[in-house]
Chains A and B, each alone.
Chain A
Amino acid sequence: MIATLLFVAFLALMFLGVPIGAALGLAGAAAIALANAETQWFGLLAVPQNFYAGLGKYPLLAIPMFVLVGSIFDRSGVALRLVNFAISIVGRGPGMLPLVAICVAMFMGGISGSGPATAAAVGGVMIAAMSRAGYPAAFSASVVAGAAATDILIPPSVAFIVYSVLVPGASVPALFAAGMFPGVLAGLALIVPAVWLARRHQMGQLEAALSRPPFWRSLKDAAWGLAAPVLILGGMRMGWFTPTEAAVVAVFYGLFVGMVVHRTIRLRDLFPILREAGELSAVILVVVSLAGIFAFSLSTLGVIDPVTRAIVASGLGERGVLALIIVLLLVLGMFLDGISIMLIFVPLMAPIMAHYQWDVVWFGVVLVLTIAIGQFTPPMAVNLMVAAKIAQVRMEATTRWVIWLVLAMCVAMLAVVVWPQIALWLPQRLGY
């Protein structure tokens, strides 16, 4: 009864446009008060305790730091130089710029931990360049939004950090390693429709007339950016630093590159960079902590076990349940942001994972893949929002292009579902 109220209240508040954190916190608090009417203070002391404890976890510190990395690299001038370097390799021709956009976004994914930051960094450079070459703005925005979604799969990734906090059995290094190949696979999958659409619709006709940057000079210019993922991922692999520390090392590296080498960041830019990254992180962290209140009522009301039993006994079978979960996640991803999806559904799915003995790292990768798809599936799509803003187009105008990219990434996800080794080979190889 109270459990029903918990869900109904949460869903109602959410659809009324109440901030998701507040919906989680209020529904959770109401359920706690009703279920503990005889305890002191209606058992509501669980609210501040869980709010505080939900936040007070050292691994979460990696979130503000990786968001800051995104903000800094967004302005460091690295994306522009990577784009020039990529063009100097693949050359000019129909469909080449979308290819470059995707590859550079994947590479930036090895530095940044969040999709929208990459969409802003790559979009800022690529959308204008693609426009000059004659690609429609809506198409460019779609490609950038999809490509930036690979960012939360390719390590480092804020999404994996949140997942590892929710699932103690999945360590951050194992998840980071497991995200690598699925992330690259997703990027490669995007290239197919992007290039095909460009050629079919004869986009970028002006591109061939544009100059091709010289290889060696582009390489020299791009060297600082090329070294960044080596430092971040290599440093973690070598045990020089923990994921949180890796983020901070990347922050100072990015500041050095932006302020000293490329001189795109001035001293007075630091305040807005820190403020913006700080507020963005706070928005995530507040949802994480308020979800702690929701999780407390969820676990104490004893709804998870019966729901799990019902699902397991539903006769769908293991594959049916998995398919159902994926479809559900994809639909949710259309409307809901990824962090909220994880905070609400991982506690519900943990017993199902345990029942079918699914590998928690593999499941984390599949989950993050669906979230990545949601980041550029309209109507609510953070990456697409950023890219459309840069391209100065309405988000609705991108739908006809973006749908192909969504399908392509769904195929990549199915591959990871069918062949878990795509995700699990690397962490096993590295001994995590």
Chain B
Amino acid sequence: MPSHPPTGSPEQGPDRRAAPATDDAPRFLRLEDWLTVAAMALLALITFANVIVRYFSNSSFAWTEELSIFLMIVLALVGGASAVARDQHIRIEFFCAAGSAARRRRLAQLGALLVALLFALIAVLSVRVVWDDYRFEETSPGIGVPQWWYSVWLPILSLLIAARAVGLLVRRTRQSDARYLAADAREEGPRP
């Protein structure tokens, strides 16, 4: 039940993501996109390999559960970062879509700012989690490797999301009202 329409069907007309990049489109999302694709592919392959191995060799890689959960967390954070840059996160637009362009743009700025704030907070707080994992030599419950190998990515990737939100904020700030409206209309799809 994802809340954003999947795009890319040939019948759906031009995909706005495929539209030529303008100065208010996010750039350099290649890192996030490649990591998202890699995480998805690995998750599918690991799980599929588990099914195959279990049914044909009567053994299983019990350790993969921990790895899969880690990959899913990476997926959520890097995909979350690119979704911030593309302004794809679930929000109620109905009440804030009314009003002048300036007001709408200011609300969009507020949203980006608050996302940046939240993930900066999570990044800072999770440094303490990593530090505790490190100094108390915690090991992972499944494989038994140092827990900080996993948790260290939480502050790093949270910071990435915060940075993407700052980028969105900057773009929304630099944009003229007219540009903002044009981009917004493009998002809402074709209108005859």
> Do A and B touch, yes or no (CB under 8 Å, in the complex)?
yes
Pairwise interchain contact A336-B5, C-beta atoms closer than 8 A:
no
Among listed A119-127, A184-192, A209-217, A311-319, interface-contacting one: A119-127
Interface size in chain A (residues, C-beta < 8 A): 100
> CA of A173 to CA of B172 in the docked complex: distance in angstroms?
45
**Known contacts being A58-B68, A271-B37, A274-B37, is A116 close to B51, with CB within 8 Å?**
no
A408 part of interface (Cβ distance < 8 Å): no
Give the contacts of B65-85 with A (CB-CB under 8 A).
65, 68-69, 72-73, 75-80, 82-83
Task: Tell me the nearest residue of chain A to B2, going by C-beta.
Answer: A280
Interface bits A100-124 vs B (CB < 8 Å: 1, else 0): 0000000000000111110111011
B139 part of interface (Cβ distance < 8 Å): no
> CA of A28 to CA of B39 in the docked complex: distance in angstroms?
29
* Least distance between B97 CB and chain A CB atoms (Å): 8
> CA of A277 to CA of B110 in the docked complex: distance in angstroms?
28
B129 part of interface (Cβ distance < 8 Å): yes
* Least distance between A108 CB and chain B CB atoms (Å): 13
Q: Of A127, A271, A283, A393, which is within 8 A of B2 by CB?
A: A283
> CA of A123 to CA of B94 in the docked complex: distance in angstroms?
24
Q: What residues of chain A lie closer than 8 Å to B76, measured between beta carbons?
A: 55, 281-282, 285-286, 289
Pairwise interchain contact B50-A51, C-beta atoms closer than 8 A:
no
Pairwise interchain contact A65-B83, C-beta atoms closer than 8 A:
no
Pairwise interchain contact B110-A18, C-beta atoms closer than 8 A:
yes
Give the contacts of A73-94 with B (CB-CB under 8 A).
74-75
A128 part of interface (Cβ distance < 8 Å): yes
**Known contacts being A18-B114, A74-B9, A340-B90, is A382 close to B4, with CB within 8 Å?**
yes
Pairwise interchain contact A283-B83, C-beta atoms closer than 8 A:
yes
Pairwise interchain contact A390-B47, C-beta atoms closer than 8 A:
no
Task: Tell me the nearest residue of chain A to B36, going by C-beta.
Answer: A278
* Least distance between A44 CB and chain B CB atoms (Å): 6
Among listed A244-252, A300-308, A321-329, A423-431, interface-contacting one: A244-252
**Known contacts being A64-B75, A116-B6, is A158 close to B90, with CB within 8 Å?**
no
Q: Of A18, A119, A241, which is within 8 A of B111 by CB?
A: A18
Interface size in chain B (residues, C-beta < 8 A): 70
Apart from A20-B89, A279-B36, A389-B190: 20 A-B pairs, beta carbons within 8 A: A17-B97, A25-B118, A58-B68, A60-B72, A61-B47, A74-B6, A124-B9, A157-B1, A240-B51, A275-B33, A275-B40, A278-B37, A280-B4, A282-B78, A283-B79, A337-B3, A382-B1, A392-B190, A392-B192, A394-B191
Would you give 9 A-B contacts (Cβ < 8 Å), ordered by A?
A: A17-B107, A18-B91, A25-B118, A55-B69, A273-B8, A276-B7, A279-B83, A280-B6, A389-B13
Residues of A that sit less than 8 Å from B by CB: 13-23, 25-26, 29, 41, 44-45, 47-49, 51-52, 55-58, 60-61, 64-65, 67-68, 70-71, 74-75, 113-117, 119-121, 123-125, 127-128, 152, 157-159, 162, 240-241, 244-245, 248-249, 251-252, 271-287, 289-290, 335-340, 371, 375, 379-380, 382, 385-386, 388-390, 392-394
Residues of B that sit less than 8 Å from A by CB: 1-13, 33, 36-37, 39-41, 43-44, 47-48, 50-51, 55, 65, 68-69, 72-73, 75-80, 82-83, 86, 88-97, 107-108, 110-111, 114-115, 117-118, 121-122, 125-126, 128-129, 151, 154, 189-192
